[in-house]
Structure 1
Amino acid sequence: MLPEQITTTTVVDEETPSRPLADGGDISGSESEKEGDTKADDDDEAADDQQDLLGEYADTETRIELMHSRVDSLLDLGLERFTHLEYLGCRQNLIKDLSPLASLTSLREVDFYDNRLGRVDASVGLLTGLSSLDLSFNKIRRIENVATLARLEELFFVSNKIETIENLGALRMLTNLELGANRIRRIEGLGELVALEQLYLGKNKIAKLEGLENLTRLRVLSIQSNRLLAIEGLEHLAALEELYLSHNGIAHIEGLENNTRLTILDVTSNRLTELAGVAHLARLEDLWASGNQLASFENVESACGPLTALRTVYLEFNPLQRAQPANYRRKVMLALPQVTQIDATLCR
Structure 2
Amino acid sequence: MTQSINTTTMENDGELTEDEVFKCLSILGQSATGLQHTYLCLSVPGRDLKNVSILCNYIYLQKLELPYNKIKDLSCVSHMPHLIVLDASHNQLTDFFEFQPPKNLKEVNFSHNQMSVMKDLSAYSSLTKLILDYNSFSAIRGLEKCKRLSHLSLTHNNISRIRGLDHLPLRKLYLTGNVIQKIENLQTLRNLQVLDLSCNRIQSLSGLQNLHLLGNINLESNLISEVKEAAHLHDLILLREMNLLRNPVQDQDDYRLAVIFLLQHLIILDQHTVTAEEKVSAVNKYDPPLEVIAARDHMTHLVYQLMQPQVIFDSTLPSLDAPYPMLVLTGPQACGKRELAHKLCQEFSDYFAYGACHTTRGPYYGEEDGSDYHFVTEEEFQNMIQMGQFVQTMQYGGHWYGLSRETIERVAREGLACCVHMELEGVYSLKNSYFEPRYILLIPTVVDNYVCFLKARGFYSNAQMETAVSRIDLYSKINRESPGFFDNIIPCDDRAEAYQTLKQLVKEYLGLEEHGGGGDSSSVTPDNTSTNATGELLAANTTEATDLMDSYSRNYQNKIQAQMTPQETPAEMASNHRRQQLIREALSGKSPGAYAELFQRSAPTAPSSLASQSRPPPGPSSSQMRPVGLSAPDPDEDSSSEESRASSGLSMRSSAGALSAAQGSDTGSGPNIEPLDMSMLGQDQDSLRGHTDSGLTHDAPRSVSERVSPTLPSSPGRPGANVKPVLPPIPSGRKTNDSGSKQ
- TM-score w.r.t. length of structure 2: 0.33
Opposite residue 188 of structure 2, the aligned amino acid is N
- Is 1:146 equivalent to 2:77 in the alignment? yes
Alignment counterpart, residue 289 of structure 1, candidates 216, 219, 244: 219
Check conservation: 1:143, 1:165, Cα contact below 8 A.
Answer: no
Unaligned 5+ segments in structure 2 are 3-14, 29-36, 276-743
Quick one: distance in 2 between partners of 1:78 and 1:266?
Answer: 38
Quick one: distance in 2 between partners of 1:312 and 1:131?
Answer: 36
Q: Which residue of 2 aligns with 1:31?
A: none
Check conservation: 2:16, 2:51, Cα contact below 8 A.
Answer: no
Indicate the SS of the match to 1:146: helix
Q: Which residue of 1 aligns with 2:39?
A: 107
Quick one: distance in 1 between partners of 2:65 and 2:19?
Answer: 22
Q: Which residue of 2 aligns with 1:230?
A: 161
- Shift in Å, 1:329: 1.9
Indicate the SS of the match to 1:298: helix
- Shift in Å, 1:153: 0.5
Quick one: distance in 2 between partners of 1:317 and 1:332?
Answer: 15
- Once the two structures are superposed, the pairs formed by residues 107-186 of structure 1 within 5 Å of their partners are 107-121=39-53, 123-186=54-117
Q: Which residue of 1 aligns with 2:584?
A: none
Indicate the SS of the match to 2:113: coil
- Is 1:267 equivalent to 2:267 in the alignment? no
Alignment counterpart, residue 205 of structure 1, candidates 136, 161, 164: 136
- Shift in Å, 1:300: 1.1
Quick one: distance in 2 between partners of 1:149 and 1:271?
Answer: 42
Which segment is superposed worse, 262-271 or 163-172? Answer: 163-172
Opposite residue 256 of structure 1, the aligned amino acid is L
Q: Which residue of 2 aligns with 1:87?
A: 27
- Shift in Å, 1:169: 3.4
Quick one: distance in 1 between partners of 2:21 and 2:115?
Answer: 37
Q: Which residue of 1 aligns with 2:118?
A: 187
- Shift in Å, 1:241: 0.3
- Once the two structures are superposed, the pairs formed by residues 55-70 of structure 1 within 5 Å of their partners are none
- Is 1:315 equivalent to 2:244 in the alignment? yes
Q: 1:159 to 1:189 in 2, by over 3 A?
A: farther
Indicate the SS of the match to 1:108: strand
- Shift in Å, 1:202: 0.5
- Shift in Å, 1:143: 2.1
- Shift in Å, 1:264: 0.4
Opposite residue 197 of structure 1, the aligned amino acid is T
Check conservation: 1:249, 1:271, Cα contact below 8 A.
Answer: yes
Quick one: distance in 2 between partners of 1:178 and 1:77?
Answer: 22
Quick one: distance in 2 between partners of 1:139 and 1:182?
Answer: 10
- Is 1:330 equivalent to 2:257 in the alignment? yes
More RCO (CA 8 Å, sep 6+): 2
Quick one: distance in 2 between partners of 1:130 and 1:76?
Answer: 17
- Shift in Å, 1:328: 2.5
Check conservation: 2:157, 2:177, Cα contact below 8 A.
Answer: yes
Q: 1:229 to 1:78 in 2, by over 3 A?
A: closer
Q: Which residue of 1 aligns with 2:148?
A: 217
- Shift in Å, 1:77: 7.2
Opposite residue 75 of structure 2, the aligned amino acid is E
Check conservation: 1:167, 1:189, Cα contact below 8 A.
Answer: no
Aligned residues: 255
Q: 1:73 to 1:279 in 2, by over 3 A?
A: closer
Quick one: distance in 1 between partners of 2:135 and 2:62?
Answer: 26
Indicate the SS of the match to 1:334: helix
- Shift in Å, 1:79: 4.2
Cα offsets for 1:256-290 (capped at 9, x unmatched): 12101000011101111100000100000001111
Indicate the SS of the match to 2:260: helix
Indicate the SS of the match to 2:125: coil
Q: Which residue of 2 aligns with 1:43?
A: none
Q: 1:73 to 1:170 in 2, by over 3 A?
A: closer
Check conservation: 2:44, 2:67, Cα contact below 8 A.
Answer: yes
Check conservation: 1:169, 1:193, Cα contact below 8 A.
Answer: no
Q: Which residue of 1 aligns with 2:171?
A: 241
- Shift in Å, 1:295: 0.9
Indicate the SS of the match to 2:242: strand
- Shift in Å, 1:327: 2.3
Check conservation: 1:253, 1:275, Cα contact below 8 A.
Answer: yes
Quick one: distance in 2 between partners of 1:137 and 1:296?
Answer: 43
Indicate the SS of the match to 2:39: coil
Q: CA RMSD in A?
A: 2.4
Cα offsets for 1:227-272 (capped at 9, x unmatched): 00000000141x1100000110001111112101000011101111
Quick one: distance in 2 between partners of 1:158 and 1:272?
Answer: 29
Opposite residue 272 of structure 1, the aligned amino acid is I
Quick one: distance in 2 between partners of 1:269 and 1:172?
Answer: 36
Check conservation: 1:313, 1:342, Cα contact below 8 A.
Answer: yes
Opposite residue 329 of structure 1, the aligned amino acid is R
- Is 1:196 equivalent to 2:127 in the alignment? yes
Q: 1:76 to 1:118 in 2, by over 3 A?
A: closer
Indicate the SS of the match to 1:142: coil
Quick one: distance in 2 between partners of 1:145 and 1:332?
Answer: 52
Opposite residue 316 of structure 1, the aligned amino acid is L
- Is 1:276 equivalent to 2:198 in the alignment? no
Quick one: distance in 1 between partners of 2:206 and 2:104?
Answer: 37
Q: 1:320 to 1:338 in 2, by over 3 A?
A: same
Q: Which residue of 2 aligns with 1:49?
A: none
Q: 1:117 to 1:277 in 2, by over 3 A?
A: same
Q: 1:177 to 1:75 in 2, by over 3 A?
A: closer
Q: 1:195 to 1:327 in 2, by over 3 A?
A: same
Q: 1:305 to 1:79 in 2, by over 3 A?
A: closer
Larger radius of gyration: 2
Cα offsets for 1:323-343 (capped at 9, x unmatched): 23x623222211211100002
Q: 1:76 to 1:304 in 2, by over 3 A?
A: closer
Q: 1:106 to 1:189 in 2, by over 3 A?
A: farther
Quick one: distance in 1 between partners of 2:229 and 2:118?
Answer: 33
Quick one: distance in 2 between partners of 1:164 and 1:209?
Answer: 15
- Is 1:253 equivalent to 2:180 in the alignment? no
Quick one: distance in 1 between partners of 2:72 and 2:267?
Answer: 45
- Shift in Å, 1:155: 0.2
Q: Percent identity?
A: 26
Indicate the SS of the match to 1:329: helix
Check conservation: 1:286, 1:311, Cα contact below 8 A.
Answer: yes
Alignment counterpart, residue 305 of structure 1, candidates 234, 249, 253: 234
Check conservation: 1:117, 1:140, Cα contact below 8 A.
Answer: yes
Q: Which residue of 1 aligns with 2:266?
A: 339
Opposite residue 224 of structure 1, the aligned amino acid is T
